[in-house]
Amino acid sequence: MRRILPLLAICLAAPAGAQTLGPLIVEGNALSRSVDCTGRDVVVRGERNRLSFTGGCRSLEVQGNTSEIRAEMAPASRITLRGETLDLRWSQAGDGPPPRIMSEGRQIRVEQVAAAAPAARPGAVTRRETARGVALNLSGDVLFPFGSDRLRPEAAAGLQEVADLIRDLRPRSILIIGHTDAVGDDAANRELSLRRARAVQRWLEERAGGAMPAVVVEGRGEAEPIAPNATPEGRDNPEGRALNRRVEFVLER
């Protein structure tokens, strides 16, 4: 009998100096984990899996039943789903054509969702290019204590990165958006997210000086999550809520 490993990643041999990585193959049942798929072709085989792929998969093929998959896909990628009771939520890494999606089977659900912020070291700024300009993200947990709009001392490192980018890029304008998780009252969360965005604005104006362009500040509270605040079973999802507590910046060209 062939033994199925819980997680098997295979890199096919490539000529010396080649930059293309071989396929990433994930096999097994009842798996629950996150995998970096940047620039890779991904094949998933198994049942009752809950998998997350980040970084921008070049292609994704799912063969199996009763699985939940979340995948960040590269522009112009391919998605193939074969099986029953499959739930795929995908987001796109960067600007470009959306993936081509093909499915064979029953009860296959496909939904596009907002891209999750990349994992980063504490205090680090995550950055991505958009048609509008440069989008930046900072964790709210690094910037502020729980329920407060008062900046932590350790917030200075990440905010200084933002200030340096403002000086280097000289954007036409800046949009600063505060976000919270879904804990608490919706109106209170909107007000807290706005106060936090204004606190960040004041810090940047003091440090960036004359490099600061016109600034628009918004507080959107819990209205725009980038990860689930709760599991499909209705339990709390601390990891998802942590991603949702954030301050975003758009440095407009």
In a domain, 167, yes or no: yes
> Same structural domain for residues 148 and 98?
no
> Same structural domain for residues 143 and 33?
no
> Same structural domain for residues 157 and 223?
yes
- Tell me the pTM: 0.54
Whole-number Å distance between alpha carbons of 99 and 149? 40
> Same structural domain for residues 136 and 73?
no
* Residue-range definition of the domain harbouring residue 50: 24-112
> Same structural domain for residues 87 and 132?
no
Judging by DSSP bridges, how do beta strands 41-47 and 50-92 pair with one another?
Answer: parallel
Q: Is the distance from CB of 7 to CB of 33 less than 8 angstroms?
A: yes
> Same structural domain for residues 188 and 212?
yes
Whole-number Å distance between alpha carbons of 69 and 110? 10
Q: What angle do CA 162, 164, 223 make, to 5 degrees?
A: 10
> Same structural domain for residues 205 and 137?
yes
Render pLDDT for 168-191 as a digit per residue (tens, 0 to 9). 999 999 999 999 999 889 999 999
> Same structural domain for residues 136 and 102?
no
> Same structural domain for residues 66 and 160?
no
Per-residue pLDDT of the chain (253 residues; tens, 9 = 90+): 334 334 433 333 333 433 456 889 999 998 888 788 888 999 999 999 989 888 889 999 999 999 999 899 999 999 999 999 999 999 988 788 999 999 999 999 998 887 654 444 445 688 888 888 899 999 887 888 888 899 988 899 899 999 999 999 999 999 999 999 998 899 999 999 999 999 999 999 998 888 899 999 999 999 999 888 888 778 888 888 888 899 999 999 8
- Tokens matching residue 133: 């300009």
Render pLDDT for 128-173 as a digit per residue (tens, 0 to 9). 888 888 999 998 878 888 888 999 888 998 999 999 999 999 999 9
- Final residue belonging to a domain, choices 60, 88, 112: 112
Q: What CATH number corresponds to the domain at position 222?
A: 3.30.1330.60
Comparing C-alpha atoms, which of 25, 23, 30 is closest to residue 65? Answer: 30
In which element (H, E) is residue 142 found?
helix 140-143
